[in-house]
């Protein structure tokens, strides 16, 4: 009797979990379906598809953001500084991959699909920035988007992240394209993407302190997609580490690229925890009022 009771309890728990998560399941189910379609139609099944998959997940995240802003008519909770930094990330990456093939996936998606997804991501970022500065400017939480507001205009705080990344890329960069400018552009995109989410996490921290830690659902999905995409990139590059050697034979650039990706995952780990916690409960994501944004 007791065993049957436990079985019934388990069934009810599963039903309630599925019911409370039906929107999340539908959202990520659609993404997985689209991923499978892309894999079977455009990929040749090579391990390097992980690079394309990471790019596709980022594009999905920004598509969610565009959808949220266009349908909800609000930019609340979105950091324009993070968007500006991602704009630089995609622009630098495209300046590298549109001219050379050194950092492209080895499979068929590297022929054109990877480029296409990166272009769509850049366009999505530009659209989001336009929406914030023009039609939705009245809903933008500028008072919380304060990262880097020290000795520079308020909206240029991202320079404190961009500057060091550019300097590091000039000093330490792989040479897969065998062209100085192209290699540096790709490396800037890699380093900068590792820290581009910091203004958004800082904004979450400020909002959690003043207004409570509830994060709008689509915004949380967007941030998760952007952060978790680096897990797949890391999986590829950690197995292809030898490709990141400098032409001089130095491995330093490869080490820094891997450390940058590990650092990004570490920065996002705290957010991942609260995201998975909210999804498992079928509730809106809520950060603690003492949320730090980093582990």
Q: What is the pLDDT of residues 199-237, one digit of tens each?
A: 999 999 888 888 777 888 889 999 999 999 999 999 998
Residue environment code for 171-194, b if the CB has 16+ CB neighbours within 10 A, otherwise e: ebbbbbbeeeebbbbbbbbbbbbb
Q: How far apart are CA 5 and CA 180, in angstroms?
A: 68
CB-CB contact of 115 with 50 (8 Å): no
Q: For 250-254, 268-272, 288-292, which range has the lowest pLDDT when averaged over its residues?
A: 288-292
Sequence-ordered strand ranges (E) for 154-200: none
Q: How far apart are CA 275 and CA 277, in angstroms?
A: 5
CB-CB contact of 103 with 54 (8 Å): no
CB-CB contact of 153 with 171 (8 Å): no
Q: pTM for the full model?
A: 0.89
Collect all residues with Cβ–Cβ distance below 8 Å to 44 and sequence separation of at least 6.
Answer: 107, 108
Mean pLDDT of 164-178: 92
């Amino acid at each position: 009797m007791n065993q049957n009771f436990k079985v019934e309890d388990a069934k009810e728990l599963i039903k309630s979990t599925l019911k409370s998560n039906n929107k999340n399941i539908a959202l990520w189910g659609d993404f997985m379906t689209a991923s499978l379609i892309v894999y079977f139609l455009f990929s040749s099944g090579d391990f390097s598809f992980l690079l394309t998959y990471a790019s596709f997940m980022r594009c999905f995240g920004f598509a969610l953001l565009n959808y949220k802003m266009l349908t909800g008519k609000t930019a609340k909770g979105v950091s324009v500084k993070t968007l500006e930094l991602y704009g630089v990330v995609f622009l630098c990456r495209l300046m590298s991959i549109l001219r050379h093939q050194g950092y492209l996936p080895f499979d068929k998606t590297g022929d054109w699909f990877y480029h296409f997804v990166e272009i769509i991501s850049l366009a999505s970022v530009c659209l989001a920035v336009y929406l914030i500065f023009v039609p939705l400017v009245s809903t933008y939480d500028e008072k919380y988007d304060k990262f880097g507001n020290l000795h520079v205009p308020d909206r240029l705080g991202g320079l404190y992240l961009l500057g060091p990344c550019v300097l590091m890329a000039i000093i330490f960069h792989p040479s897969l394209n065998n062209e100085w400018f192209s290699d540096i552009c790709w490396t800037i995109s890699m380093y900068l993407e590792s820290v581009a989410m910091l203004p958004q996490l800082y904004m979450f921290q400020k909002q959690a302190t003043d207004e409570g830690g509830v994060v709008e659902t689509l915004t949380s999905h967007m941030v998760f997609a952007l952060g978790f995409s680096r897990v797949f990139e890391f999986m590829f590059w950690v197995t292809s580490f030898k490709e990141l050697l400098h032409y001089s034979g130095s491995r330093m650039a490869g080490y820094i690229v891997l450390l940058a990706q590990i650092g990004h995952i570490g920065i996002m780990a705290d957010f991942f925890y609260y995201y998975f916690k909210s999804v498992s409960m079928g509730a809106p994501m809520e950060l603690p009022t003492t949320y730090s944004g980093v582990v």
